[in-house]
Amino acid sequence: MIPRPIAALALLGAPLLLAASPPPQADWAAGWFSAPFAPIAGQPGGTPAIFANQTVRQVLRVDAAGSAIRLKLTNELGISPIRIAGIHIALVGADGHIAAGSDHAVTFAGAAEAWIPTGAPLVSDTVDLPIAALQHIAISVYYKDSAMPAAHHADLIVAPGEQMAADAMAGARPLRGPAVVSQVEVARAAHGPVIVAFGDSITEGAASTPGKDMSWPQQFAARLAADPRYRGWSVVNAGMSGNRLLHEGFGLPALARLDRDALAVSGVTHIVLLEGINDIGWWNKPDSDATAERVIAAYRQIVMRAHARGIKVIGGTILPYKGAVYFTPEGEAMRQAVNAFIRTGGLFDGVIDFEKAAADPTDPARIDPRLEPGDHLHPNDAGYAALAGTISPSLFEPARH
């Protein structure tokens, strides 16, 4: 057991005056999100990442503007409490360096340390750091004691000791590992939809250029940010590689993670659901049986649960996958049946025809070779641009009365 630090008492009883005050009438909304994994889910057969006396830095892009920031840390899938000895946040310039004067310490009820119980998230105090849409930030977490985060795996920089405020950390090395921050909230000046992209690796952005923000949710967010009509809108990515609707993959099934990874996202108004190809591809694996009817039944559950929260669900048709490692004629028939339901079943609050945007005109059962890297399953940067380009913002605009 990790000994409970004295600072943890401050989390329970410190006066709120110690924390920064949120802006008046702040409209808090997610500007970035990442769905947590269990400690070993991101690396099947491997060992969990354990940090001790190390600074772990992640650089990410926040897709909504705001006058202040809050961080949400996750231990929701953890198996033991986690102690964070400190966190800093800073703006990152186009040159990849931390912007001068932008480094801020993050506090929790006024304390620098954070204690996250097993199975819980933890939201930070307000950080008075104005941020523009599409701004990159660096989040530096110092683990003094041994800690095993249960979080989504991201491209991290790990350095020895406490180096949270350093621009270039001495002795740093890259690591694909768990990033304890699961959400960045912004205090928006302008209200707008918060769109959660919910799905598998095609939503997460697998096979896109690393570090270039080329997933379809990120490219759609860039489209919105370039148009003043969509000021205040936010798109966040809750994609999870290997995810399935009905069975566990590298993370919990979509039906099991929906509440945490979509319905509880700060300010969520819409979900774009693009999921089912892994259920279809693995339909004949032991203990993974799936049918078109079961996939559709899962969609019904997602829509029912979202509508109960006043959240709309936009259905995305499933991309072609002929030539992929798990392609079968039976699976293709399932995909066609599911897509026909998405288009005509009347379940969703809107439909995005991702299949049409990605299909090869000469063979609609496969992805256009110009839009995929050769695995016949995932789009490339251009393919994700095609998916983002086919989305109409009108799907998310408030109804006019």
For 224-270, write each residue's pLDDT tens digit.
999 999 999 999 999 999 999 999 987 899 999 999 999 999 999 99
Integer Cα distance of 159 and 161 in angstroms: 7
Phi, psi angle pair for 46, to nearest 5°? -95, -165
Q: What is the pTM of this model?
A: 0.92
Through-space distance between the first and last CA atoms of the chain, rounded to whole angstroms? 58
The CATH code of the domain at 192-396 is 3.40.50.1110
Query: 126-141: per-residue pLDDT in tens?
Result: 999 999 999 999 999 9
Tell me: pLDDT of 177 over 90. yes
Tell me: pLDDT of 91 over 90. yes
What pLDDT, on a 0 to 100 scale, did the predictor assign at position 398?
82
Integer Cα distance of 150 and 179 in angstroms: 8
Integer Cα distance of 268 and 70 in angstroms: 16
Summarize the confidence of residues 147-168 as an average pLDDT. Answer: 96
What tokens appear for 242 in the block? 């290997």
Summarize the confidence of residues 83-91 as an average pLDDT. Answer: 98
Tell me: pLDDT of 16 over 70. no
Query: 290-306: per-residue pLDDT in tens?
Result: 999 999 999 999 999 99
What pLDDT, on a 0 to 100 scale, did the predictor assign at position 24?
56
| Band (1; pLDDT cuts 50, 70, 90) | very low
Query: 332-352: per-residue pLDDT in tens?
Result: 999 999 999 999 999 999 999
Integer Cα distance of 386 and 316 in angstroms: 13
Q: At what angle do helices 329-344 and 292-307 cross, to 10 degrees?
A: 30
Tell me: pLDDT of 14 over 50. no
**Distance set, CA 247 to CA 76, 271, 273, 282, 324 (Å):** 20, 20, 17, 10, 20
Summarize the confidence of residues 100-114 as an average pLDDT. Answer: 98
| Band (38; pLDDT cuts 50, 70, 90) | confident
Phi, psi angle pair for 200, to nearest 5°? -110, -150
Per-chain mean pLDDT for the chain: 92
| Band (2; pLDDT cuts 50, 70, 90) | very low
Integer Cα distance of 335 and 281 in angstroms: 9
Tell me: pLDDT of 17 over 90. no
What tokens appear for 390 in the block? 């086919």
What pLDDT, on a 0 to 100 scale, did the predictor assign at position 10?
34
| DSSP bridge pairs for 82 | 116
Phi, psi angle pair for 291, to nearest 5°? -135, 165
3-class secondary-structure state, position 60: strand
| Band (206; pLDDT cuts 50, 70, 90) | very high
- Among left, alpha and beta (phi > 0; psi -120 to 50; other), residue 163 is alpha
- Pairing assessment for the beta strands 104-106 and 86-92 based on DSSP bridges: antiparallel
What pLDDT, on a 0 to 100 scale, did the predictor assign at position 40?
65
Tell me: pLDDT of 180 over 50. yes
Integer Cα distance of 204 and 207 in angstroms: 10
What pLDDT, on a 0 to 100 scale, did the predictor assign at position 250?
77
Which regions of the chain carry the CATH code 3.40.50.1110? 192-396
Tell me: pLDDT of 182 over 60. yes
Q: Give the range among 41-55, 146-160, 162-176, 304-318 with minimum mean pLDDT.
A: 41-55
